[in-house]
Amino acid sequence: MAQTIEGSCRVKLFEYEAKSLAQNLGVLTPRGAVASTSEEARDIYKRIGGDVVIKAQVLVAGRGKAGGIKFASKADETRDRAAEILGMSIRGEKPRRILIEQKLVTKKELFVSIVQDRASRCQTILASEQGGVDIEQVAKETPEKLVQHKLDPVFGMRSYDARDVALKLGYQGQQLNMLADILSNLYRLSIVYDAELVESNPLVENEDGKFTAADLRLIIDDNSLFRHPEFQERSKEVSAEVSPLEAKARDRDLAFVELEGDIGIIGNGAGLVMATIDLVKKYGGSPADFCDVGGGANADHVAAALDVIQSSEKVKSVFINILAGITRCDEVAKGILEVKRVVGLKKPLVIRMSGTNQEEGKRILSSAGLTTLDKMDDAARLVASGEST
Amino acid sequence: MIEYGTRIVAGVTPGKGRTKIHDVPVFDTVNSALESHNANASIIFVPAQHAKEAVMEAVDAELNPVVVITEGIPARDGMLLLAYAKERNTTIVGPNTPGVITPGESKLGIMPGSSFAPGKVGLASRSGTLTYEISQSLTHSGIGQSTCLGIGGDPFTGLDFVEVLKMFREDPLTESVVLIGEIGGSAEEDAAKYVRDSAYPKPVVAYVAGRAAPPGKRMGHAGAIITGSEATALAKIESLSAAGVKVAEVPSDLPRLLQGQVPALQH
């Protein structure tokens, strides 16, 4: 199966947002509206009537299994179900809004996804006539039912790409053309919004033979946000997937992931920080975070990282591991002393510094009574044993 | 780079033409630079917003290879620039790479030269500072390097481990290879498959960062995220070990692993 690069710290859109963007590009979606109170939900029911589905608007996956999707066929019932959902916590995320939609009479549920395929360096369409289920499972158990179609990275999806996929999903005649149109429109959505992922599961074949995107996920590549200023703030929003400490760190432009343990970790360069975490764990310590100040970090980056990490209650000590290349050890030392001067050093530190301007960095720190180690192994062992330098 | 011995003949920054920096003339476009200077390679530091076109400009001017240091290029631009270069048979190193260094001779990159020493070990890595960490420990153990190269921390990169392994295979100055991998993607699995299927003739050792990384979280590099069982460090270590690649438990074990003084990680 094509490998996707879907992550939890990207800009994910809510279903109702994704659907509204898709509608503008000609994708058919169920009739409905979004509400933030149960009374609003009731009013929306009155406009739609019949059988409706009430869906929690959350960013975590697995909302259906967690009870975040309910059905109703009366106005008061809609209000009550809506109230239930608004009072729920879905895998740690409290829904602030609900989507009330007309319940579709489905003939078949399809799966359609447009992903960025690392191995092939292009976008790939993944589709299956077995929608509504976990697609990883389809890929594993019945791989022949998973259609994979690579798209040329320069020319993109051409109409015959879309028809090829529709054909492989078993459609012909007018339906083949209708499904191909929807695929083309979903592809346009992926291009217009620099989407890492566009996924409709299920994409429903209705009784009348038309296709409707019953669910829609859209994840925007956060490196493209300079082209999408309307979503820029979203990358910093706090959701259940981003802890308050992570939000605080991201506000200060740090690459930060909170972990379970009690040893704060700061390093420069993602690979080095991962290796540091692995080492601390090997020696019996438990890292509290992944914090990368960047390969070219300066005093401010280091100060910001130390400031954020020592504000965490659970952190008992902090390990700073710097391999200086573009970054200079004296800059790192100044960053540490800046924190000491402004708010004080609140946790025991273990500092390892090596590389550019190492001696100058050591001198600055020792004048403030702080010592450093040269080797990452020694430092990791020390911090894991609960001591400091 | 100039200090290290690389012959940098020209710089290109739009609007800065007819100026000089470190005695190197600066031009507004790549073509205008090439009218008066011979160059055969390019290194790109252009901000992510404009990186795609900067790469295309270098490719159009037939500079090869093109080393892309820039981090944070949108994935779509990454795909486009790689497709553009491939069509024109140009090698892209990166994006999001520290570059390439042949110790003692020259470098096209931003790595600190002092971490490297001339020798016979080829090194390919997905990371920057971890590469310096490991090359430094090799150098301190008396193990020099033939060429060290960062394939880049982005999800979409030009050269990958397999292509670098092929180059090291043909390189008479390289006797063994160090791979530095991390979680995410399938570069390590692909490398393992290639080593096994090609009965790779030179010893390969590896280190994979991120054994303690939680799934679903992106660890700094845009490419470092575990999605499903394939991308975990353990799965990568298993594939590599099964292909006969010796995997080090900690970075500092690599020198001794190369010298056969410590056993490889077992899984």
Mean pLDDT (whole number) for B164-193: 95
Residues of B (70-99) whose Cβ lies below 8 Å from A:
72-77, 79-80, 82-84, 87, 98
Distance CA A331, CA A302 (A): 9
pLDDT band at B236 (very low <50, low <70, confident <90, very high): very high
**Active-site option among B37, B50, B221, B267:** B221
A135 and A225 both lie in a single domain: yes
With 70 as the cut, is the pLDDT of residue B226 above it?
no
Q: What are A249-281's pLDDT values in tens digits?
A: 888 888 899 999 999 999 999 999 999 999 999
Distance CA A251, CA A166 (A): 44
Residues of A (209-228) whose Cβ lies below 8 Å from B:
221, 223-224, 226-227
A18 and A135 both lie in a single domain: yes
The beta-carbon neighbor of A224 closest among B76, B217, B252 is B76
Would you state the pLDDT for residue B230?
64
Helix axes A299-310, A329-342, angle to 10 degrees: 40
- Is the CB of B220 less than 8 angstroms away from the CB of A255? yes
Mean pLDDT (whole number) for B136-157: 94
Distance CA A356, CA B80 (A): 36
Residues of A (41-100) whose Cβ lies below 8 Å from B:
none
The beta-carbon neighbor of B218 closest among A9, A376, A377 is A9
Does a structural domain hold residue A389?
no
User: Which residues in chain B have their CB less than 8 angstroms from residue A271's CB?
Assistant: 125-131, 153, 180, 182, 209, 221, 224
CATH class of B99-258: alpha beta
A76 and A199 both lie in a single domain: no
A174 and A45 both lie in a single domain: no
A17 and A163 both lie in a single domain: yes
Helix axes B48-60, B75-87, angle to 10 degrees: 0
CA dihedral A236, A240, A246, A251 (to 10 degrees): 20
Q: Are A94 and A66 a contacting pair, CB within 8 Å? A: no
Distance set, CA B223 to CA A78, A329, B78 (Å): 43, 27, 12
- Assign residue B110 a region: left if phi > 0, alpha if psi is -120 to 50, beta otherwise? alpha
B179 touches chain A (CB under 8 A): no
CA–centroid distance for B224 within its chain: 15
Cβ neighbours for A47, distance < 8 A, ≥ 6 positions apart = A33
- Is the CB of A268 less than 8 angstroms away from the CB of B129? yes
Q: Are A356 and A388 a contacting pair, CB within 8 Å? A: no
Share of chain B above pLDDT 90, in %: 84
**Kindly report the CA angle at A163 between A159 and A169, in degrees rounded to 5?**
150
Cα distance from A254 to chain B (closest Cα, Å)?
9
Q: Which helix (H) or strand (E) holds A218?
A: strand A217-220
- Is the CB of B153 less than 8 angstroms away from the CB of A3? no
CA–centroid distance for A232 within its chain: 14
First-to-final CA distance of chain A: 48
A218 and A71 both lie in a single domain: no
Decide which of A69, A103, A137 is a domain's last residue.
A103
Does a structural domain hold residue A164?
yes
User: Which residues in chain A have their CB less than 8 angstroms from residue B184's CB?
Assistant: 5
pLDDT band at A137 (very low <50, low <70, confident <90, very high): confident
Q: What are A324-360's pLDDT values in tens digits?
A: 888 899 999 999 999 999 999 999 999 999 988 999 9
Q: Are B147 and B139 a contacting pair, CB within 8 Å? A: no
B133 touches chain A (CB under 8 A): yes
B11-93 and B99-258 agree in CATH topology: yes
Distance CA A331, CA B169 (A): 41
B112 touches chain A (CB under 8 A): yes
CATH label of the domain that carries residue A350: 3.40.50.261
pTM for the full predicted model:
0.89
User: Tell me: domain B11-93, CATH 3.40.640.10, correct?
Assistant: no
Per the structure block, which two tokens stand in for B121? 């070990």
B207 touches chain A (CB under 8 A): yes
Would you state the pLDDT for residue A1?
33
A191 and A92 both lie in a single domain: no
Decide which of A103, A128, A150 is a domain's last residue.
A103
A372 and A272 both lie in a single domain: yes
Does a structural domain hold residue A39?
yes
User: Which residues in chain A have their CB less than 8 angstroms from residue B125's CB?
Assistant: 271
Mean pLDDT (whole number) for B242-264: 89
Would you state the pLDDT for residue A232?
82
CATH label of the domain that carries residue A65: 3.30.1490.20
Q: Are A10 and A195 a contacting pair, CB within 8 Å? A: no
A258 and A140 both lie in a single domain: no
CATH label of the domain that carries residue A130: 3.30.470.20
A297 and A224 both lie in a single domain: no
B221 is catalytic: yes
Q: What are B75-127's pLDDT values in tens digits?
A: 999 999 999 999 999 999 999 999 999 999 999 999 999 999 999 999 999 99
Cα distance from B127 to chain A (closest Cα, Å)?
5
Q: What are A191-227's pLDDT values in tens digits?
A: 999 999 999 999 999 999 999 999 999 999 989 999 9
Decide which of A238, A267, A301 is a domain's last residue.
A238
Q: Where are chain B's structural domains? A: 11-93, 99-258
Strand partners, A200: A112
Does a structural domain hold residue A3?
yes
- Is the CB of B209 less than 8 angstroms away from the CB of A154? no
A90 and A178 both lie in a single domain: no
Would you state the pLDDT for residue A5?
34
3-state secondary structure of A161: helix
Distance CA A317, CA A382 (A): 11
Q: What's the total number of domains in chain A? A: 3
CA dihedral A280, B191, B189, B252 (to 10 degrees): -10
Per the structure block, which two tokens stand in for A233? 């703030």
Cβ neighbours for A229, distance < 8 A, ≥ 6 positions apart = none
What is the domain extent for residue A139? 1-29+104-238
Distance set, CA A75 to CA A54, A105, A333, B71 (Å): 12, 20, 65, 52
CA–centroid distance for A18 within its chain: 15
A63 and A149 both lie in a single domain: no
